[in-house]
Amino acid sequence: MPRAKQLRRPEWLKVRLETGEDYKDLKELVGDLSLNTVCQEANCPNLHECWNARTATFMILGEICTRHCSFCSVAKGRPGAVDLDEPRRLAEAVRRMDCRHAVLTSVDRDDLADGGASVWAACIRAVREVNPGTTLEVLIPDFQGDTEALAVVMAARPEVLSHNVETVPDLYRRVRPDADFQQSLDVLKHAAGWKSEYPVRIKSGMMLGLGETREQVTRAMERLCEHRCEILTLGQYLPPTRRHLPVERFVPPEEFAELKELGESLGLVHVESGPFVRSSYRAERHLHV
């Protein structure tokens, strides 16, 4: 979705990319084990920082998504068969990286009866078996509102359950045409119901700069609180390519700081807010806030 005139990126959104030895080692490791990372697939601006620190967010269930979100660079289309060996390779990668906290996410798999929930659970169990000291955050899809599929994932007991609402509800038709804001809120609320079983943390994330108003962001945070979300990430939307949804506004750092204070005053336990913040940025800290 090209735009006649692209907004000039401000100084605070310019970052120096470094590729040290740890980055090179991790890139080779991911390739050797035939794994996907959202760091690469989504062109994350923090890729080099995280990889140089030997951390990564692994993307399971293939690299083709069945949804058509206009902000995302992950390939869309008809996914291939489920890779039954993926949980083993994932667990091995976490072991070789010596991860204390690992983040898992996935493409949407609406082609599967359970949305891929059984694979999610298998991956969690495999990582735990090989890496008993590693904590896990899972950034899951909405499973089309299927609470039984969600229960399969929750039964594996990830320490952090994350599902992103991505933007304010008024922008869903343009940004997330195959999703529903209320359905995403319900995912978070149903996941929070597992707090009676174990101390899971509930987390979500939003992008700013897509044309949302301050009032819309405030109301979205209020509704997240109402649905028992505890942790929220707020970051600047950056188009992966000129073909993607254009940025409408660059939000200055001081406004991100204000929104952090606002969100926490509304009842969120912690808001990670800043231009370069992404869902899994500094995720290991969110386990203990």
Residue 32 lies in a domain: yes
Question: Mean pLDDT over residues 67-95, rounded?
Answer: 92
pLDDT band at 278 (very low <50, low <70, confident <90, very high): confident
Residue 100: pLDDT over 60: yes
Instruction: Check residue 22 and give its pLDDT.
Output: 57
pLDDT tens digits, residue range 147-201? 999 999 999 999 999 999 999 999 999 999 999 999 999 999 999 999 999 999 9
pLDDT band at 77 (very low <50, low <70, confident <90, very high): very high
SS3 160: strand
Residue 2 lies in a domain: no
Instruction: Check residue 123 and give its pLDDT.
Output: 98
Instruction: Check residue 2 and give its pLDDT.
Output: 45
Enter the DSSP assignment of 284. Answer: G
Question: Mean pLDDT over residues 135-142, rounded?
Answer: 96
Residue 11 lies in a domain: no
Residue 10 lies in a domain: no
Residue 9 lies in a domain: no
Q: What is the CATH number of the domain that holds 235?
A: 3.20.20.70
pLDDT tens digits, residue range 21-66? 555 565 566 555 555 555 444 445 555 555 555 566 889 999 899 9
Mean pLDDT rounded to a whole number for the chain: 87
Instruction: Check residue 98 and give its pLDDT.
Output: 81
Residue 4 lies in a domain: no
Give the number of domains in the chain: 1
Residue 3 lies in a domain: no
Residue 125: pLDDT over 90: yes
Angle, in degrees to the nearest 10, between helices 214-226 and 181-192: 30
Q: Strands 160-162, 135-139: parallel, antiparallel or unpaired by DSSP?
A: parallel
Residue 5 lies in a domain: no
Residue 126 belongs to domain spanning? 17-287
Q: What is the CA radius of gyration of the chain?
A: 18
Instruction: Check residue 28 and give its pLDDT.
Output: 63
Handedness of CA 53, 58, 59, 63 (dihedral sign): positive
